[in-house]
Structure 1
Amino acid sequence: MVPDHHSPAICHDCMNASIYFLKALETYGVDPSRVVVCGEGVGGAAAATVTQALVGRSDLPRIRAQVLISPVVQVFCLQLPSFQQNRNVPFLSQKFMVTVLCNYLTIDLSWRDAILNGSCVPPDVWKKYEKWLSPENIPKKFKKRGFQPWSPGPFNEAAYLETKHMLDVDVSSLLADDEIIAQLPEAFLVSCENDILRDDGLLYKKRLEDQGVRVTWYHLEDGFHGCLIFFDKKALSFPCSLKIVNAVVNYVQGI
């Protein structure tokens, strides 16, 4: 809904809706022990953020599980293997993602190159988060296709001042503290091979597992970003769309 609504509108709306729903489960006939938060892409980002924000809320039923389909969990390291490999794959090219990101976060598009080459992030911040962002956390089989090792460009303080809110945890949920991650409910995480966000999912999977959170991972070799919207579109449907729906349904029914 840009340009009329900007960050943090998505998180605020999803948070308000989630809290309202959790307080009215009886009205909807929902078992309070089986509430699942689910989202795809930006929706996956919102689902992860809402789930983190509700950790420790004793006045609300605890979320049973989070279903994250190709989630966006960080927006400042855009040279991960999947970003390089799939930068021109529809429906989420690298150029389009940066444009959407800047519009939502009210960042002038003139800072696009600084975002892409990482010069908008201070060296000490890179060092702090490298343990979670490093391509070393991505399994080798995902780096065989066209990945070139990368390092950030020279730090640009002006760019940092204009873009530093990319590091906020409600924008980059991967950066949440360990004590928050450790309290999260189990996750069902879907990743697609032909998706620039594939590695976001893989990095978040590792963060959860490192803190003892159970993760069920479902990867589609024929999947691409946004393929779920083609579910049941007849001539426009794709096998991967049905696979995701079936996998999510089976997971939810099994918990």
Structure 2
Amino acid sequence: DLMLPSYIQEHYQFFQYTADHTLSAYLNEKIDPSVYSNNHLSVEQKKHYRKYVDWSLIPSKYRTVYKNPITDDQEGDPQLIEKAKKVLDPEVSPLLVDDQKLAKLMPTYILSVGHDRLRDDSFIYEGRLKRVHVPVVHDHYEHTFHGSIGFLNGPFALDIAHEMINGVVKYFKENL
């Protein structure tokens, strides 16, 4: 769902990117930015996938961004629907994995940040894992941005990057 609050909220980042840029790079194909209005799904697909993207799992403080309820009654663009088939693969979009498969996952570690279009996906994924009784640790760093974990050294080093790395290392030491 590319209308999640974290997708439509402004994120002031050093390295601005959009979902269409990211997907274009991953899939090696140009993605139309109109996917942001969920124009890449048919009405039937929207109804099917809605159960996987449960907005109630997003903390309420983030859900204040949208103004109108999401509707599933608008048919998407046929060309985008065809192109989106790759994006709807659970290997690309882990939120689209059904609960039976999610329940078979090993204990999971999720790291997310406040200024990131993927922020809400992380809360939804965490909630879905918990619903199927998969042990999950979710470390959320509210006041930093996507990619900040890479600022470990040099003139732009961030203390939060070291804190994030330490959290990952701690999790693996305790769980491997």
AA aligned opposite 1:84:
I
After superposition, the C-alpha distances for 1:44-103 in whole angstroms (9 at most, x for unaligned) are xxxxxxxxxxxxxxxxxxxxxxxxxxxxxxxxx222111122455342432xx3123124
| Bigger Rg over Cα | 1
AA aligned opposite 1:199:
D
**Identity score, percent:** 27
CA RMSD across the alignment: 2.0
Counting only pairs closer than 5 Å after superposition, residues 32-71 of structure 1 correspond to structure 2 as: none
Q: Does the 8 Å contact 1:86/1:195 carry over to 2?
A: no
In the other structure, the counterpart of 1:171 is 92
Change (3 A) 1:250 1:121: same
After superposition, the C-alpha distances for 1:154-177 in whole angstroms (9 at most, x for unaligned) are 422222112221111111121112
| Among 62, 66, 74, the residue aligned to 1:147 | 66
- Number of residues of Structure 1 aligned to a counterpart in Structure 2: 173
In the other structure, the counterpart of 1:132 is 52
| Among 83, 104, 124, the residue aligned to 1:162 | 83
Structure 2 Cα separation of the partners of residues 208 and 244 of structure 1: 22
Counting only pairs closer than 5 Å after superposition, residues 85-234 of structure 1 correspond to structure 2 as: 85-94=9-18, 97-109=19-31, 111-113=32-34, 115-144=35-64, 146-149=65-68, 150-151=70-71, 154-231=75-152, 233-234=153-154
TM-score calculated relative to the size of structure 2: 0.87
TM-score calculated relative to the size of structure 1: 0.62
In the other structure, the counterpart of 2:174 is 254
Q: Does the 8 Å contact 2:52/2:98 carry over to 1?
A: no
Q: Does the 8 Å contact 1:186/1:214 carry over to 2?
A: yes
In the other structure, the counterpart of 1:12 is none
- Where 2:141 maps in the other structure, the secondary structure is strand
Task: Kindly state the Cα deviation for residue 131 of structure 1 after the two structures are TM-superposed.
Answer: 1.9
Q: Does the 8 Å contact 2:40/2:77 carry over to 1?
A: yes
Q: Unaligned regions of 5+ residues in structure 2, if any?
A: none
Structure 2 Cα separation of the partners of residues 93 and 86 of structure 1: 12
Q: Does the 8 Å contact 1:181/1:208 carry over to 2?
A: yes
Q: Does the 8 Å contact 1:186/1:213 carry over to 2?
A: yes
Q: Unaligned regions of 5+ residues in structure 1, if any?
A: 1-76
Change (3 A) 1:87 1:123: farther
Moved more, 205-214 or 78-87: 78-87
Q: Does the 8 Å contact 2:11/2:115 carry over to 1?
A: no
Q: Does the 8 Å contact 1:87/1:93 carry over to 2?
A: no
| Among 81, 92, 96, the residue aligned to 2:5 | 81
Change (3 A) 1:143 1:90: farther
